[in-house]
Structure 1
Amino acid sequence: MLTNNLLPIAVSIGEPAGVGADVLLLACKKAHQGVIDPLPFFIVVADPEHLRERAKLLSINIPIIEVSLHEVSSHKAKNDYSVKVIPLGYSFEALPGKPNFSDNVGVIESIDKCITLAWEREVCGIVTLPINKKTLYDFGFCYSGHTEYLAHLARKWTEENKKLQAVMMLVNSKLRTVPVTIHLPLQLIIHHLNTQLIVEICTITTQSLITQFGISSPRLAISGLNPHAGENGLMGKEDRMIISPAVEALKLKGIKAFGPFPSDTMFHEEARRNYDVAICMYHDQAMIPVKTLAFHQTVNVTLGLPFIRTSPDHGTAFDLAGTGKANPLSFISALHMVASMKAQEDRVDKVDQI
């Protein structure tokens, strides 16, 4: 295992027909040119020839170097801005913007290898580039997203993680949001939403904000589900019967939770000063405000896992793949987020050991 100060971040390449390779290469180019601060040390699990072809298409002259894990630390010392690649056992066939069904083998292999590296503490965390869920579903992938798949693998590996609950948090410099329910149709949300789930999600979020984000006493603003947070039952009883009891239960646990609040009044600048994270009841309630405020800098963070995972908060953007027009800022932010979270975890560990 590499020493702690040399642990890289592992990057899963995602859908090869999308902008994953683009944002990675463009980020390295910007760092090499000095346009942005140096990137945290990372390796990518990918098909190196696919990256070379994409770099050529984008006119990015950065070396693509194949490495094994034990070679990574020597490459870091050179600070040569090359892309270090742990090769897949599969060669991608997709062209930019044109997914190839058989490439799903390599997509899943890249995710699995990154997770294994994180599980074995060979890397300090992982960044997952966007996947194409439609082709993965057709391939037999039965998880609604990265978050659910990562949680499944973590539960699978050890008995102590059997009840693990993964939590999605969207983060940028202006706002943090957490959806209690994630990839569900609106008509199913009421059937999945319950007081215990809200309490569990909020408890995990609070602990992560303390240990990974350095917020000593997090404040949680809990949104309502219905318009006007139900308006005392006139517009739905869920806010009064499910969400309010969760808020009271959280207060009994010593967590600073407030609400439920009407979601249409939670996200203006003055309101955001009063909390550290907004807990939302469903996907778009969390996604819309955070992406509106800072779309290109927003990072998807998975809390509750036994390793750090972040992701750019955008999709495959097939129409931009290979054009050089993809914006790498969310990927850059995702890399820095892993490094920041790891550094905070290390500080907490040192304090606990004193």
Structure 2
Amino acid sequence: MIEGPTGPRPLVVTMGDPAGVGPEIIAKGWEALKTQRQSVLAPAPLPFAVLGDAATLAKQGMPVEAVYSASEAFQVFNRAIPVIDQPVPRPVTAGQPDPANAPMVADWIERAVDMILSGEAAGMVTAPIAKAPMYAAGFRFPGHTEFIAELTSDMPFIGTRGPVMMLTAQDLRACLVTIHVPIDQLPELITAERVTRIARVVHESMKRDFGIAKPRLAMAGLNPHAGEGGSIGLQETTILRPAAEQLRGEGIDITDPLPADTLFHEEARKRYDAHICLYHDQALIPVKTLDFWGGVNATLGLPIVRTSPDHGTGFDIAGKGVARADSFIAAVKLASDMAAKRATR
């Protein structure tokens, strides 16, 4: 149990786009996690309170109970989903996002951050949002990650500040140097400055958020065979290897760039605590191959703990009762673990 200034601190969950699968995976996840918390056979993840539209969540067939503060989750969680009700202005139709509701979706995120910074909550789990209705409503950030980074930009933070996106699946932690950029832009975006900053964030997070005293980092190469001595590309010799040498000079245990096609199998994963991946698919393909349903997106290098399911809003299946909550459940567990590690430092 994580203590705050006014008592134990739970997690806070933001509903995401209410027309997507967010309400369904939250309800299914609550049912599974409630059962786990009642078991004595496994460590219990933190309970959570939901910031969202209570009427939409109540349609999922699970008991819902209105609360006024996140701390009430400890009393309510075993019998109902605790919800801090902030209704959307327009009725929600599953599968049909409405830009009129997007400002409230953003408000849920902002209030969740405020609750963590004030000590009311230990961390946040964000259900998926859809960019198009958010942009139509004037949202100016690429996504959750950048918005939360902006909301926490004035808060004190010891160490190298992110945000850095990390995708996890089982024993794989894949951390991204670039995210949603075209392949033809990679050579100009993968700089020594960017790579070393990302590696520092990951190294510090492994210690702070995962309790690993001496993190071992693997750096993926950009080109096939990690450039093969410059015969299949020069970035490894001109940018990545010098960056790795600089980081080792700072006391960070990191490899020279390694061929990505041999970096993620079971034996290789045992040798490293985290992987520095240079572009989106280099990280996402191994993560989703290893555990398609249970991957988690975590943001490193921020003053708060934030995780998210590694999938989108699923408008095509919203309201059909078929969405799986595996990734949401894993995100709650990871946020619980990260918050607990921070609380002991």
TM-score (norm 1): 0.89
Quick one: which amino acid aligns to residue 63 of structure 1? P
Structure 2 residue corresponding to 1:246, chosen from 243, 249, 265: 243
Quick one: which amino acid aligns to residue 21 of structure 1? P
* Residues in 2 aligned to 1:75 and 1:267: alpha-carbon distance in whole angstroms: 39
* Residues in 1 aligned to 2:170 and 2:73: alpha-carbon distance in whole angstroms: 32
Q: Which moved more, 1:127-136 or 1:84-93?
A: 84-93
The 1:35/1:322 distance shift into structure 2, 3 A limit, reads farther
Q: Which moved more, 1:1-10 or 1:254-263?
A: 1-10
* 1:134 pairs with 2:132: yes
For 1:95-134, what per-residue CA distance to the aligned partner results, in whole angstroms no more than 9, with x for missing partners?
A: 1111112111111111111111112221000001101112
For 1:294-329, what per-residue CA distance to the aligned partner results, in whole angstroms no more than 9, with x for missing partners?
A: 122211110100010000111111122112211111
* 1:50 pairs with 2:52: no
Residue matched to 2:253: 256
Superposed displacement of residue 32, structure 1 = 4.8
Superposed displacement of residue 220, structure 1 = 0.6
Residue matched to 2:169: 172
Q: Which moved more, 1:196-205 or 1:224-233?
A: 224-233
Backbone CA RMSD of aligned residues: 2.2
The 1:134/1:253 distance shift into structure 2, 3 A limit, reads same
Contact residue 174 and residue 294 of structure 1 kept, 8 A: no
* Residues in 2 aligned to 1:146 and 1:194: alpha-carbon distance in whole angstroms: 24
* Residues in 1 aligned to 2:277 and 2:20: alpha-carbon distance in whole angstroms: 29
Q: Which moved more, 1:252-261 or 1:182-191?
A: 182-191
The 1:113/1:240 distance shift into structure 2, 3 A limit, reads same
Unaligned runs of 5+ in 2: none
Residue matched to 2:16: 14
Identity %: 38
Superposed displacement of residue 76, structure 1 = 2.0
TM-score (norm 2): 0.91
1:1-354 aligned at under 5 Å gives the runs 2-3=4-5, 6-32=8-34, 40-53=46-59, 55=60, 60=61, 62-69=62-69, 72-74=70-72, 76-77=74-75, 79-88=77-86, 90-155=88-153, 157-158=154-155, 164-347=161-344, 349=345
Contact residue 47 and residue 73 of structure 2 kept, 8 A: no
Q: Which moved more, 1:20-29 or 1:89-98?
A: 89-98
For 1:182-204, what per-residue CA distance to the aligned partner results, in whole angstroms no more than 9, with x for missing partners?
A: 12222222222110111111111
Q: Which moved more, 1:18-27 or 1:113-122?
A: 113-122
Residue matched to 1:352: none
* Residues in 2 aligned to 1:190 and 1:47: alpha-carbon distance in whole angstroms: 44
Superposed displacement of residue 29, structure 1 = 2.5
* Residues in 2 aligned to 1:114 and 1:92: alpha-carbon distance in whole angstroms: 22
The secondary structure found in structure 2 opposite 1:232 is coil
Structure whose residues are more often helix by fraction? 1
- How many residue pairs match? The answer is 338
Unaligned runs of 5+ in 1: 350-354
Contact residue 166 and residue 297 of structure 2 kept, 8 A: yes
* Residues in 2 aligned to 1:136 and 1:8: alpha-carbon distance in whole angstroms: 28
For 1:210-236, what per-residue CA distance to the aligned partner results, in whole angstroms no more than 9, with x for missing partners?
A: 111111111111001111111222222
For 1:4-27, what per-residue CA distance to the aligned partner results, in whole angstroms no more than 9, with x for missing partners?
A: 762010111111111111001011
